[in-house]
A and B are shown apart, each in its own frame.
Chain A
Amino acid sequence: MSQEESDISLIIAQIVQKLKGSNLYAQLERQAWASLQRPEIKLESLKEDIKEFFKISGWEKKLQNAVYSELSVFPLPSHPAAPPEHLKEPLVYMRKAQGSWEKRILKSLNSMCTELSIPLARKRPVGEQKELLNKWNEMGTDEPDLSLFRPVYAPKDFLEVLINLRNPNYENGDSLSFRTHLGLIQVPLKVKDIPELKECFIELGLNTGQLGIDDSTQVPPELFENEHVRIGQKVLAEQDSAAAQQYVRQGSPTALRAELWALILNISSQPEDILYYEQLKTNVIQHDLLVDSLIYKDVKLTASNDDYYFVFEDYLYQVLLCFSRDTSVLSHFAYNSASPPKSYIRGKLGLEEYAVFYPPNGVIPFHGFSMYVAPLCFLYHEPSKLYQIFREMYVRFFFRLHSISSHPSGIVSLCLLFETLLQTYLPQLFYHLREIGAQPLRISFKWMVRAFSGYLATDQLLLLWDRILGYNSLEILAVLAAAVFAFRAVNLMEVTSLAAAEAVLADLSTLKVMPLLQIFLFATVT
């Protein structure tokens, strides 16, 4: 009767409870009833026979995948005495910092609202609704006047907040001590060092085949690539999420990637999902939101200007506008340190029955947000599937990149991991950059916040995101950022200003990520 065993039973109880509300539960029940017709199901051994049927027909595998998905996404159950805020973020000072940051964002949005005299939300007149429905597939051709709109915040504003993050119980004195943080992040979170990273990312080692390295033209495909593709096809045939997650750690073949990612994220396009997406589309048609203009502006400023992604402009609107209307995203706030902005129906201020979230999904987009969606457009062409994949990627990973938390994959930990790796393994470079006023994090922050989207070539980016899915962690972003600095160290040692350092690191489009990661983790003499 150990603590571990009671922890497991608590997790089981939680997962059972979550799955009971899901589509899968209804489907399993239907299948179980339908299976009673089958000759091999006998009344005496009903339970065993139905279980056997589920195993053979693949339903047990679907249930396994659903359980695996729950385990990957939701944090382990917390102590019964812990309040819900504790699950969002255990450290009080970080919760407070996130709260103040959110307040600033709300103030900014409210002042934009009053200055431009545009309502937060407006029901569209019928004529306008028809017009929007007609041009749903080509919203990119629209050229609304967005000059008055400005993004609510940009990554550099968020970086300033993180730089000023302080633990009130920590020795933040001016005198240098053995634990003075020489980087920009001043909070003592636990981050992994290279030996721990080597253990964690063991499949990226020199003795393991990788896509991104061992599939290059000089290497004969019989050595690794052919076998890897064969295994990938087998994983897809088995429809096993856990196996797929393990598999993509070595990279995913281009032809199999879309299906593998869908399997890992446990996305299967059921009719209900397509209907749900259509419902969201209807919501977009009916109501016009202020955040829609922010989304338009963001897409026009970022993805439309990008050589790789401008072709997907229409898809981006179709995904992001629907995303804002999706209330199912609200459930991720249980484990996100952020909270959705709240408002009241006009004239009903303070009355709880008239309290609503704004936008409906609680997520206010910032400058560069559309770049989370853009790379996925290469993989998925059907809007509802593209939408589901993006939503799942957001509630599993991307939300951590723009909220203040102590989670190991949170942006604060990633920044600290990056700075610590650089200081420890490239101390001369770090010292030099610091001396010339070019703190490395000022350059790498924007890469990490966008998960390198828009900075790397797309095939390289997708290889990187393979590993994010494979390891269920964003730490690889910080490791890659440090590896990029290590790669360009010689040039960086010669610069004498922040601007010059930025120039050396301005263009990452020629980089090959897997060799960089492998060399930094496994082949650098320390």
Chain B
Amino acid sequence: MRLGWGCQEGLVVGGPEQRLRLVALGGIMSRVSVPCHVKGTVALQVGDVRTSHGRPGVLVIDVTFPSVAPFELQEITFKNYYTAFLSIRVRQHTSMHTPAKWVTCLRDHCLMPNPHSEEGAQDYVSLFKHQMLCDMARVLELRLILRQPSPLWLSFTVEELQIYQQGPKSPSMTFPKWLSHPVPCEQPVPLLEQMWALTEMIRASHTSARIGRFDVDGCYDLNLLSYT
């Protein structure tokens, strides 16, 4: 998303009501990691891999869930490594006695806006249920189809793949008075709770205390600099 520095209208500096109206938090609902088995990548290439000169531009990664019953997929996260486009196909459990079919749930999602340059090449990415083309109710298996059309990269893949399903609903938290003051807001109240939870989460993750002294008890007599 882009925040235009020069464009005053786009800045998030309106009053609190305006901000709260914009709040919609898909990201911090609680989630539970689903143990998965990531099979080795298979390159799709025409002809013999050894003799052809070009590098494969399409890779397929199968992800299975051997010890888990069909579940509802909430989120997929991974670290990109030079993949330009990602498609995902899903095979879901059907109640009828028909064999489960593969359905495309994500088509050509762009990870690198310019496949020849580094932008987006090593980013961390999350894909959510609401971005998928079909519902992800009873997932049995996933197939990730990675594409990198540029011949400049020696290899490409996705790393640190994690699949999440929805966790138990978060217990309601106490939040400060100003947040509970009635505001003209169309969003339902649980979202306000979650915004507060988000602030608390960030506060807990690191301190923003101003660092003051640089010495230790008045002493700044140092060794040589350390190489770590």
Contacts and interface: CB of A to CB of B under 8 A. Distances in A.
Nearest to A2: B24
Contacts of A16: 199
Interface residues of A, number: 87
7 contacts: A6-B26, A8-B12, A47-B178, A67-B13, A190-B113, A190-B119, A327-B213
The 9 closest A-B pairs by CB, nearest first: A360-B214, A79-B124, A5-B24, A190-B117, A1-B24, A82-B124, A13-B199, A327-B211, A190-B119
A169 B154 contact: yes
Nearest to B13: A64
Contacts of A7: 1
Contacts of A1: 24-26, 130
Interface stretch (B3-11, B41-49, B85-93, B137-145): B3-11
Given A16-B199, A72-B5, A344 B226 contact: yes
Interface string A1-30: 111111111111110111011000000000
Contact of B216 (A168, A169, A345): A345
Given A1-B24, A79-B126, A189-B117, A171 B178 contact: no
B189 interface: no
B24 A9 contact: yes
Given A12-B23, A331-B211, 14 more contacts: A7-B1, A9-B195, A12-B12, A80-B27, A106-B226, A114-B224, A123-B220, A169-B153, A169-B154, A188-B117, A189-B117, A190-B117, A342-B225, A342-B226
Nearest to A473: B5
A212 interface: no
Contacts of A110: 224-225
Interface string A266-310: 000000000000000001000100000000000000000000000
B160 interface: yes
A357 B224 contact: no
Given A5-B24, A406-B118, A356 B221 contact: no
Interface of A: 1-14, 16-18, 20-21, 47, 51, 64, 67-68, 71-72, 76, 78-82, 86, 90-92, 103, 106-107, 109-110, 113-114, 119-123, 167-171, 179, 187-190, 242-243, 245-246, 249, 283, 287, 325, 327-328, 330-331, 341-346, 349, 353-354, 356-358, 360, 406, 470-472
Given A5-B22, A81-B79, A190-B117, A344 B223 contact: yes
Contacts of A86: 122, 124
A119 B228 CA distance: 21
A47 B181 CA distance: 9
Nearest to B194: A9
A327 B123 contact: no
Contact of B225 (A51, A91, A343): A343
A330 B128 contact: no
Interface stretch (B64-72, B100-108, B166-174, B201-209): B201-209
